[in-house]
Structure 1
């Protein structure tokens, strides 16, 4: 992160996390933001940060939670969730240009965020990888920018079940996403809808496509479809990889309550989009 990017982020988030003088000088907004970014980017424990910044562990914890919430509140309306037809068309154009897959408005998948076992949670968060987690269900565009997310589902749930009960899934089912009207791909062709690409864990619907199953017995057209489909769908895997590489907090179990883990994930998603959009 450059000094210019830090200053720009501080100008947006700083007024929200600034403290008033009461008895002693408060910790400045720049110090709070720097501490939080270090925690997210390095994956250091709060105990380690308390020694580095000469602050109490409770103070460090409060700063991280409050700053992550401020980042989400300030940046979410700016960097997340396109909700206009023109924006969806721009996403579709980027997929067509980079992946040669037209009428695609996003690549969808779920990522398990490993956490410590919550108290009295039973097996709700215990997933097939034999660790406790919550699920980040996300959809991205062809530039690895997240356009819609759902955070906090139990790790034991399937991606398809999470999608069905998510706000994104419910809006798509109710046709409330302001998506572009179906259009033909070629002159005098049939009207085809704009779609999301996902793997076999998700249901096949008019707005969500899956690849043809199997490798043998596929026609040439089906193989070409699967190849272009995989080029489009890999964007969400790439986005998760970039996210985990930039923010090392995801490299090991996050030692926090589920509520605070959700705040951390929300903040990193907004920061990911904020810095990625600077490149385009």
Structure 2
């Protein structure tokens, strides 16, 4: 951060504020809450494009490799023999995400944040 002449904590606060502002302004447009009308449109489009009636989305998952979090034991260890969190997603017939879930995301963010805080104090 030296080239910007901004300290780490100041840069972190700027990033947090910008992210919150973008989320507040763009969330409804980019990630609308699902409702009956939306699900009907998704199902109708799947039937029209793929001749697949009553389909609300295509589901897939992915293991996202992570560095083993401290004191996590085997919590993040998967059957593929590496540490990961799992991403599950549902996409509509136009390949747009309509639902996402990250396994243990809250715990992972908490561990990451505590590591960042420790780095900031060092």
TM-score clears 0.5: yes
Q: SS of 2:104's equivalent?
A: strand
**Unaligned stretches of 5+ residues in structure 1:** 1-49, 155-256, 263-280
Name the structure 2 match of 1:258.
Answer: 108
Which range moved further: 135-144 or 54-63? 54-63
Name the structure 2 match of 1:108.
Answer: 59
Name the structure 2 match of 1:85.
Answer: 36
Q: SS of 2:56's equivalent?
A: strand
How far apart, in 2, do the equivalents of 1:126 and 1:116 lie?
10
Q: Does 1:94 align with 2:56?
A: no
**Unaligned stretches of 5+ residues in structure 2:** 113-122
How far apart, in 2, do the equivalents of 1:258 and 1:125 lie?
10
Q: Compared with structure 1, are the counterparts of its residues 150 and 64 closer, same or farther at alpha carbon in structure 2 (3 Å cutoff)? A: same
Residue 126 of structure 1: CA displacement?
A: 1.6
How far apart, in 2, do the equivalents of 1:62 and 1:70 lie?
12
Q: Does 1:124 align with 2:71?
A: no
Mapped contact 1:80–1:148 kept (Cα < 8 A): no
Mapping of residues 95-174 of structure 1, within 5 Å: 95-153=46-104
CA RMSD of aligned residues (A): 3.1
Residue 131 of structure 1: CA displacement?
A: 2.7
Name the structure 1 match of 2:7.
Answer: 56
Q: Compared with structure 1, are the counterparts of its residues 68 and 118 closer, same or farther at alpha carbon in structure 2 (3 Å cutoff)? A: farther
Residue 65 of structure 1: CA displacement?
A: 4.2
Mapped contact 1:80–1:146 kept (Cα < 8 A): no
How far apart, in 2, do the equivalents of 1:70 and 1:100 lie?
41
Q: Compared with structure 1, are the counterparts of its residues 136 and 120 closer, same or farther at alpha carbon in structure 2 (3 Å cutoff)? A: same
How far apart, in 1, do the equivalents of 2:86 and 2:20 lie?
19
Higher-strand-fraction structure: 2
- Compare CA radii of gyration and give the structure with the larger one: 1
How far apart, in 1, do the equivalents of 2:100 and 2:64 lie?
13
TM-score by length of 2: 0.66
Q: Compared with structure 1, are the counterparts of its residues 94 and 132 closer, same or farther at alpha carbon in structure 2 (3 Å cutoff)? A: same
